[in-house]
Amino acid sequence: MELNAGTAGTGSHETASERKEVAALESLQFTDEIRRLMLAPATDNASSFTALLELPAPQAVQLIHSPDSVKLTAVHAPTPNVDDFKGSFHFPFDSGLIERAARFSLFAGDGNINVNNKSNSLEPTSYNSTANLQKPVKSEPAETESYQALVSDPTVENRSIKRKDREKVKGSTKKNKTAAKDSSDDAEKLPYVHVRARRGQATDSHSLAERARREKINARMKLLQELVPGCSKISGTALVLDEIINHVQSLQRQVEFLSMRLAAVNPRIDVNLDSIFTADSGSLMNSNFSGMVMPMMWPEVQLNGNRQQYPQQSQFGAFQQPVWGREEVCNNYMTPENSLLSYDSSGNSASLHSNQLKMEL
Amino acid sequence: MPLSSLKPKMRPHSSLKQEFLKKWIMGLQRCSFSKKNMSILERKKAIKFSADIAMASARNGTTCWSRSLISNASKEGSDIHVVEQILGSESDRPAVENKVPTRRASVCKKIVKRSCRIRRRRRRRKCVASAPSSIAKHLVRKRREVLKSLIPGGEFMNEICLIEETLDYITSLRVQVDVMRSLASASVRASE
């Protein structure tokens, strides 16, 4: 989180939205780079892909791979954008695949195949076809692999790797897009996740969606790991979650404890604060926090002296004892916490506090 | 500005701290205005309560946990004036509006949870999973449930949302702790 804040350099108030913006920016740059990488060898991929398609036997299997990504876009995005789609995937969906699909009559269930490649019409057809072809696909995964191994191995791998990167990136962009609900930038951003079946993994749409979701979760878990101190060394989700839970619980306990301490120290809640805010601004020139607070706290100390007459003061004094005892304990407890937390030490935070008060006054 | 001397990672937090402090103090003043003599526990509760509300309102309804915290707080009639004071009358209305759907959603979610629990129990009786992956999943699921119980309004979130909310909640808790600690140390030093 701190790295993101440092690199982005934005001055936004909300850290979560800032993080998202940074992630969006980074992912955008990423998408541009990857797009450039992808479009350059697009022709090569096209040739290899059509070469794959010309292979006689498992054309159905090959066709599964491409309509799978098409179908997934239907699954993931309610309103797919045709132009985006065309812009991103130059090679398979323009003419070659559609013609062959029509020829092989796999999409016999739905007769209206437009060569103009309207993805809307393509999706239901591919869905039907994949539903029919699930079993043959699963029965011959080995054959797919063998064929993929035969023909242009590195390009396929590159493609799958690029798709993997892109799907990770697209996951975050997709999230930002759905949050922003704006798909005007068609050339730059894609509004849906492109997930590609990797080698040796199931091409089931559910598993692909599941995988995309899992990667989203893993990305966010990494952020959490960076945030919580001592979590980056731990491997394994359960232990990391344990640490996170402990951290949240300790923070909540600290809040409780500090509020108790504040309640004990101050006889009334707002005495302290009134004295802070009624102080003259002339005494604020020195940045020393204790120096600033001391002259302002004198009225409060006098108030304390006045209140000694009241019987409540005995109660206050009685409570004072355990508070001081607890304070020592909490000092020991908090200094390791200070070292663990990625914050500055309490000294710096105190100076920050003084600056805040200065700015308010 | 002395702020520039601080480390860069403090910069995004400083504005949050200021906002939190302002709102908290507003709430505290409102609290003490209503009741004159309070026991220490009441005071502590009031302090913590106003701190929580201030922290949640600093998010301005962008996060789920803040919304649910505020709606939970505004359900009790006694402290609602504190909430209004901190939030301001304009921003309180969307929080109040969110109350009703969360109640319905909570009822629905409870029903769903109950059915899921029953289904899970049946499944557990049937097959004791010995595969390491399912054991791992079981562990993770348990911890996720614990996390859901910790984060306010966490029961209604899916996994992705939960992790994001945790991130935000942790940062805001840290801010809260820091401000409270500095205030406490200042007042302690002053009363010495």
The domain locations on chain A are 205-274
Residues in chain B within 8 Å Cβ distance of A234: none
* Residue A329 binned pLDDT confidence (cut-offs 50, 70, 90): very low
Average pLDDT of chain A to the nearest whole number: 53
Taking the alpha carbons at both ends of chain A, their separation in whole angstroms is 31
pLDDT of residue B34 exceeding 70, the answer is no
- Check A334 against B181: CB less than 8 A apart: yes
* Residue B87 binned pLDDT confidence (cut-offs 50, 70, 90): low
Which of these ranges, A47-56, A251-260, A268-277, B31-40, has the smallest mean pLDDT? Answer: A47-56
User: In this predicted model, which residue has the larger pLDDT, A176 or B55?
Assistant: B55
* Residue A270 binned pLDDT confidence (cut-offs 50, 70, 90): low
pLDDT of residue B47 exceeding 70, the answer is yes
Among A9, A6, A20, A17, which residue's Cα sits nearest to residue A219? A20
Residue range A226-248, pLDDT digits in tens: 888 888 888 878 888 898 999 99
Which of these ranges, A24-38, A46-60, A64-78, A275-289, has the smallest mean pLDDT? Answer: A275-289
Number of A:B CB contacts under 8 A?
221
Reported ipTM: the value is 0.76
Residue range B98-120, pLDDT digits in tens: 444 556 667 777 888 888 888 87
Res A249: pLDDT: 92
The arithmetic mean of pLDDT across residues A28-56, rounded, is 49
How many CB atoms within 10 Å of residue A92? Answer: 24
Res A250: pLDDT: 92
Residue A130, Ramachandran bin (φ over 0: left; ψ between -120 and 50: alpha; else beta): alpha
Residue A117, Ramachandran bin (φ over 0: left; ψ between -120 and 50: alpha; else beta): left
* Residue linked to tokens 């926090």: A289
- Check B146 against A245: CB less than 8 A apart: yes
CATH of segment(s) A205-274: 4.10.280
CA angle A214, A218, A224 (to 5 degrees): 145
Q: Give, as one character, the DSSP assignment of residue A281.
A: G
Residue range A94-144, pLDDT digits in tens: 555 555 545 555 444 444 444 444 444 444 444 444 444 444 444 444 444
pLDDT of residue A272 exceeding 80, the answer is no
> CA of B1: which chain A residue's CA is closest?
A355
pTM of the model: 0.47
- Check A241 against B184: CB less than 8 A apart: no
Distance CA A256, CA B52 (A): 10
Among A162, A312, A228, which residue's Cα sits nearest to residue B40? A312
Q: Are A154 and A52 in contact (CB under 8 A)?
A: no
Closest CB to B181: pick one of A1, A258, A294: A258
Distance CA A80, CA A83 (A): 9
Residue A253: partners with Cβ closer than 8 Å, 6 or more residues away? none
The number of helices, as runs of H, and strands, as runs of E, in chain B is: 7, 0
The three-state secondary structure class of A89 is coil
Helix axes A205-227, A59-76, angle to 10 degrees: 50
Among B40, B70, B48, B59, which residue's Cα sits nearest to residue B180? B48
Res A281: pLDDT: 30
The tokens of A180 are what?
A: 């922003």
Cβ under 8 Å to B: A residues 252-291: 252, 254-256, 258-266, 268-270, 272-273, 287, 289-290
Q: Are A247 and A228 in contact (CB under 8 A)?
A: yes
User: In this predicted model, which residue has the larger pLDDT, A285 or B58?
Assistant: B58
Helix axes A205-227, A153-180, angle to 10 degrees: 70
